[in-house]
Structure 1
């Protein structure tokens, strides 16, 4: 089966921005891949690891950034702490905000 080029190929630990739904505009981390169309995301705050949200990949904006802490934790223990998720999201949003301010 060919995957359309417009569909992002997501990886565990990758940071995404939610484009559709109740959480639109928020950032999260991919914690599990269901199939080529759906992934599970969490941010460690509103969406904790134990209660992630399943999202259509078309409703997410993928970034090149992958959290090594989240990726290694999931690879080793099949879990990640909510603190690590919050840290990854906060670190990434600070980076994005810093780039926006430089561009102004």
Structure 2
């Protein structure tokens, strides 16, 4: 795995694997530093109050929402509806396409 794909990016979907929100999906809305990101899902965790999360406590998925990424880079904000849409689109389309033996999270 190269360093570019292992570094978090704005608009990238993650699966939370530690804490109260374990096994839920969220979108990276900001990268604080090399160890922490800010996450929001548009539902329980809104864009205005993102969750600060250690990068080691999430699985970076190989999917970046272009709608979320473009909105944040152009205006500095994204609507909670776009966050919910990005997560539901990923869950409905991408997860349905992956077969049972395929790895969602890359190699560990």
Tell me, yes or no, if structure 1 residue 50 matches structure 2 residue 48. yes
State the TM-score, normalized to the length of structure 2. Answer: 0.84
Consecutive unaligned residues of structure 2, counting only runs of 5 or more, are: 102-108
Q: Given the alignment, which residue of 59, 77, 80 partners 1:79?
A: 77
User: Which stretches of structure 1, 4 residues or more, deviate above 3 A after TM superposition?
Assistant: none
- Is residue 21 of structure 1 aligned with residue 19 of structure 2? yes
Give the secondary structure class of the aligned counterpart of 1:44. coil
* CA distance in structure 1 between the partners assigned to 2:25 and 2:81 by the alignment: 15
My pick for the range that moved more, 60-69 or 87-96, is: 87-96
1:103: Cα distance to partner?
A: 3.2
User: Alignment length, in residue pairs?
Assistant: 97
- Partner Cα distance (2:75, 2:41) in 1: 18
Q: What is the TM-score with the length of structure 1 in the denominator? A: 0.87
